[in-house]
Chain A
Amino acid sequence: MAVKSGGRKKYSLGSVLNHVLLHQTVIGQEALKQMDLAGEYPDVVIGCVGGGSNFAGIAYPFLQQNLTDGRHTHLLAVEPRATPSLTKGVYRFDFGDTAQMAPIVKMYTLEHDFVPPPIHAGGLRYLGIAPSICALYDAGYIQAIAVPQLATFEAAIQFANTEGIIPTPESAHAIRVAIDEAIDAKNLGEARVILFNLSGHGDYDMSAYQAYLSGQLEDYDYPDEAIQISLRNLPKVQIPG
């Protein structure tokens, strides 16, 4: 164990924690400068959410502008309908893992015994969401939306066919909502400026695309009954202070 290693071995986590979100803010800081180069400012900023690092990376610098500079950009976190922690979960203290070894944090949760369905959403299937995102969502500074799997892949194919980049399935969730925003703007006759984070290419994910294109994927909505059952298992935590 790391305890016995005398500090020679450490652990590294790719999302959820504050310091991980912090490091990703280079994305949004650069995007602010680049939108300035384009002579525009986004009405909506979109990112997919698993643990939350790519969403926070692009959204937090724009949230700073909302909080300190009077901007009113909508910050939209997108999750799969199969794992709808923000849109269907509850905001409670929960263990970070099934083994109950991880620290307990307050987050939107489908609870720690949640078994993710085998959908093709990569890291979005992770159960924990960064506590800062949960708190800001709870207070209304961030919005969230859940999208179904098949419509997500449909958006990915549209994007690949027009822009030439095959997106990773995680990023395709953001693309789905960007396209929906663009269609909504068309219906309303609005000149809306949309920015999304294409967090990765999909070159590692050909098997997911193969499954989609051969008709093997289907939509899965996390059942409400399962959420009600799960809530009975949440730890009884007295909030300090």
Chain B
Amino acid sequence: MSEQTRFLLNESDLPKYWYNITADSPVPPTPVLNPQTLEPVTPDFLSVLFPMELILQEISTERYIEIPSEEREIYKQWRPTPLIRARRLEKLLDTPAHIYFKYEGASPVGSHKPNTAVAQAFYNKISGTKALTTETGAGQWGSALSMACSFFDLNSKFIWVKFLITRNHIGVISWKPMVLKCIRARQNTPNMGNQSLSLIQIALDHSG
């Protein structure tokens, strides 16, 4: 049994592929429907929102999808992240169990969110996108995507939810320097926690 507390990998151990559960899932994917027609959505419907490479990943049945070298270089800014055995917590609990945690807070913005933010920014950049829009609540996603947009020289115009700005102003201030333009969600924005595509309209209306 190892006496180690932290288990660290080399940069060369960084995964070369993303793993797609669809390839091995015993459960077939359920259809995604157009809200107007109730028919399955088409790539054209999605291409308004996303670059084609991400749409293809969305519907892919390939088991492994290669991580582009540009993307792996950026992952090296914080990956591989440590695996840590929580020995002091085990001692407090006086348990025979071994508790391990994967620490994604080691990323530059303190969460797992950049793992996808930099990938999305990369595929948008190479497909000619000039600006990305999104909404963020607690600040993790906003900080991750603003960093990714900075890395790939994309404009970023985000909505954040007013209720959470006041509650979470430290998080917002920390990522604001990297965002070119932020928009406060209107106070009557439907459900402050309901951060879904309903806010796209507001974001894009402000992104001229």
Residues on A facing B (Cβ under 8 Å): 1-3, 5, 7-15, 17-31, 33-35, 37-40, 42, 53-54, 56-58, 60-61, 63-64, 67-68, 93, 95-106, 114-116, 118, 122-123, 125-128, 131-132, 135-136, 138-139, 141, 158-159, 161-163, 165, 167-168, 170-171, 178-179, 181-183, 185-186, 189-201, 203-208, 235, 237-241
Shortest Cβ-Cβ A-B pairs, 4 listed: A204-B171, A200-B111, A99-B198, A116-B193
Q: Kindly report which residue of chain A lies nearest to residue B34, judged by CB atoms.
A: A103
The one of B34, B84, B190 that contacts A99, using a Cβ cutoff of 8 Å: B190
Check B70 for interface membership: any CB of A closer than 8 A.
no
Cβ distance B154 to chain A, nearest Cβ, rounded Å: 9
Interface on chain B toward A: helix, strand, loop, or mixed SS?
mixed
Residues of chain A within 8 A of B104, CB atoms compared: 27, 54, 197-200
Q: Is the CB of B137 within 8 A of A122?
A: yes
Q: How far is the CA of A14 from the CA of B137 in the complex (A)?
A: 11
Q: How far is the CA of A178 from the CA of B136 in the complex (A)?
A: 28
The one of B18, B33, B134, B193 that contacts A127, using a Cβ cutoff of 8 Å: B193
Q: Answer whether A30 and B26 are a contact pair too, CB < 8 Å, given A3-B48, A14-B141, A186-B95.
A: no
The one of B14, B94, B99, B116 that contacts A20, using a Cβ cutoff of 8 Å: B116
The one of B41, B89, B117, B130 that contacts A179, using a Cβ cutoff of 8 Å: B89
Q: Is the CB of B141 within 8 A of A30?
A: no
Q: Is the CB of B120 within 8 A of A126?
A: no
Output the residue of A18, A68, A139 with the most chain B CB within 10 A. Answer: A18
Q: Is the CB of A198 within 8 A of B134?
A: no
Categorize the interface residue count of chain B. 35 or more
Q: Is the CB of B115 within 8 A of A30?
A: no
Q: Kindly report which residue of chain A lies nearest to residue B91, judged by CB atoms.
A: A162
Residues of chain A within 8 A of B150, CB atoms compared: none
A-B contact pairs, 23 of them (CB 8 A): A12-B134, A13-B134, A22-B20, A27-B81, A35-B100, A40-B98, A40-B100, A57-B115, A97-B199, A99-B190, A99-B197, A99-B198, A101-B201, A103-B34, A104-B34, A122-B140, A131-B30, A161-B92, A190-B96, A198-B101, A199-B112, A200-B112, A200-B140
Q: Is the CB of A102 within 8 A of B35?
A: yes
Cβ distance B103 to chain A, nearest Cβ, rounded Å: 5
Q: Answer whether A116 and B132 are a contact pair too, CB < 8 Å, given A34-B9, A204-B174.
A: no
Q: Kindly report which residue of chain A lies nearest to residue B140, judged by CB atoms.
A: A200
Q: Is the CB of A22 within 8 A of B19?
A: yes
Q: Is the CB of B38 within 8 A of A238?
A: yes
Residues of chain B within 8 A of A93, CB atoms compared: 33
The one of B59, B129, B207 that contacts A7, using a Cβ cutoff of 8 Å: B129
Q: Kindly report which residue of chain A lies nearest to residue B80, judged by CB atoms.
A: A30
Cβ distance A225 to chain B, nearest Cβ, rounded Å: 19
Q: Is the CB of A98 within 8 A of B191?
A: yes
Q: Is the CB of B21 within 8 A of A24?
A: no
Q: How far is the CA of A3 from the CA of B201 in the complex (A)?
A: 11
Query: B51-93 CB contact bits vs A (8 Å, 1 = yes)?
Result: 1001001111000010100000001000111011110111111
